[in-house]
Chains A and B, each alone.
Chain A
Amino acid sequence: MNVTKPLALAATALLLATGAAWAQSSEVRIGVALEPPALDPTAGAAEAIDVVVYQNIFEGLTRIDQNGAVQPGLAESWEIAEDGLTYTFSLHEGITFHDGTGFDAEDVKFTFDRILAEDSVNAQKALYEPIAAVNVVDPQTVEFQLSRPDGLFLFNLGRGDAVIVAPESADNNASEPIGTGPFAFVQWDRGSRVILERYEPYWGEAPALTKATYLFISDTATLTNALLAGDVDGTNNFAPEALAVFENNPQFKVLVGSTEGETILGTNNAKEPFSDLRVRQAMAHALNRQEIIDGATYGYGVPIGSHFAPHHPYYLDLTGTYPYDPDAAKALLAEAGYPDGFSATLKLPPVAYARLSGQIIASQFAQVGIKLELISMEWAQWLEDVLGNKDFDLTIVAHVEPFDIGIYADPNYYFGYDNPDVQALNETLNATIDEGERQRIAQEVQTIIAEDAVNGYLFELAQTGVWNAKLDGMWQNAPIEGVVLRDIHWVE
Chain B
Amino acid sequence: MLPKRATNAMRHLPPCGGGREGGQPRPGFPVTLFILRRLLTFAATLFVAALIIFILLDLLPGDPARFILGINASEASVAALRTQMGLDAPAHERFFGWIAGMVRGDFGISATQRVAIGGLIAERMAVTLPLTMMAMVLSMLIGLPLGIVAAMRRGKPADTGLMILAQTGIAIPNFWFGMLLTLVFAVALRWLPTGGFTPWHENPGAAFRGLILPGLALALPQASILARVMRTALVDVTGQDFIRTARAKGLTRSEAIWRHGLRNAFLPVLTILGLQFAFLIAGTIIVENVFYLPGLGRLIFTAVSERDLTLVRSATIVLVLAVTATMFITDLLYTLVDPRLRRQNA
Contact = CB atoms under 8 A, between A and B. Distances in A.
Contact of B115 (A121, A175, A407): A175
B145 interface: no
B193 interface: yes
B49 interface: no
B73 A123 contact: yes
Interface stretch (B16-24, B28-36, B74-82, B94-102): B74-82
Interface centre among B120, B196, B293 (most CB of A within 10 A): B196
B114 A175 contact: yes
B203 interface: no
Contacts of A189: 197, 199, 294
A380 interface: yes
B307 A380 contact: yes
Nearest to B64: A380
Contacts, number: 160
Given A189-B199, A225-B194, A218 B289 contact: yes
B344 interface: no
Contact of B186 (A190, A225, A379, A388): A225
B68 A125 contact: no
A126 interface: yes
Given A35-B302, A229-B187, A384 B61 contact: yes
Interface string B123-144: 1100100000000000000000
Given A45-B70, A191-B299, A219-B289, A120 B77 contact: yes
B298 interface: yes
Interface in A366-406: 378-381, 383-385, 387-388, 397, 399, 401, 404
Contacts of A361: none
Given A379-B67, A383-B67, A126 B74 contact: yes
A46 interface: yes
Contact of A228 (B69, B187, B195, B289): B187
Interface string A214-255: 011111011001101111000000000000000000000000
Contacts of B69: 44-45, 121, 123
A121 B70 CA distance: 11
A35 B113 CA distance: 11
Contacts of A222: 179, 182, 194-195, 289-292
B70 A46 contact: yes
A215 B66 contact: no
Interface in A322-360: 350
B106 interface: no
A125 B77 contact: yes
Contacts of A473: none
A231 B63 contact: no
A2 interface: no
A193 interface: yes
B62 A380 contact: yes
Contacts of A230: 190
Contacts of A193: 196
Contacts of B299: 190-191
B193 A231 contact: yes
A379 B195 contact: no
A29 to B, nearest CB: 9
Contacts of A123: 68-70, 72-73, 77
B211 to A, nearest CB: 13
A4 interface: no
A119 interface: yes
Contact of B113 (A37, A218, A388, A407): A37
A218 B292 contact: yes
A350 B304 CA distance: 13
A122 B305 contact: no
Contact of B183 (A46, A120, A191, A225): A225
Interface in B246-300: 289-295, 298-299
Interface centre among B60, B71, B294 (most CB of A within 10 A): B71
B66 A37 contact: no
Contacts of B289: 218-219, 222
Contacts of B67: 379-380, 383
B194 A124 contact: no
A174 B310 CA distance: 18
A38 B62 contact: no
B57 to A, nearest CB: 11
A387 B71 contact: yes
Contact of B195 (A43, A126, A174, A217): A217
B168 interface: no
Contacts of B70: 44-46, 123
Contacts of A46: 68, 70
Nearest to A174: B114
Given A123-B77, A174-B113, A218-B289, A192 B68 contact: no
A174 B68 CA distance: 13
B84 interface: yes
Given A122-B77, A192-B294, A225 B62 contact: no
Contacts of A175: 113-115
A231 B62 contact: no
Contacts of A378: 62, 305
Contact of A192 (B112, B186, B196): B196
A350 B307 CA distance: 14
B73 A37 contact: no
Given A123-B70, A123-B73, A174-B113, A380 B63 contact: yes
A191 B193 contact: no
A125 B113 contact: no
B63 A45 contact: no
A45 B306 CA distance: 13
A125 B76 contact: yes
Nearest to A382: B62
Nearest to A193: B196
B72 A404 contact: yes
Given A120-B77, A192-B293, A381 B115 contact: no
B197 A190 contact: no
Contacts of B64: 380
Contacts of A228: 187
Contacts of A229: 182, 186-187, 190, 193-194
B124 A37 contact: no
- List of 3 A-B pairs having minimum Cβ-Cβ separation, nearest first: A45-B70, A380-B62, A191-B294
Interface of A: 35, 37-38, 43-46, 118-126, 174-175, 189-193, 215-219, 221-222, 225-226, 228-231, 350, 378-381, 383-385, 387-388, 397, 399, 401, 404, 407, 414
19 contacts: A38-B114, A44-B69, A118-B80, A123-B77, A124-B72, A175-B114, A190-B120, A191-B124, A216-B292, A222-B194, A222-B195, A222-B291, A225-B186, A231-B193, A383-B62, A384-B62, A387-B71, A401-B72, A407-B72
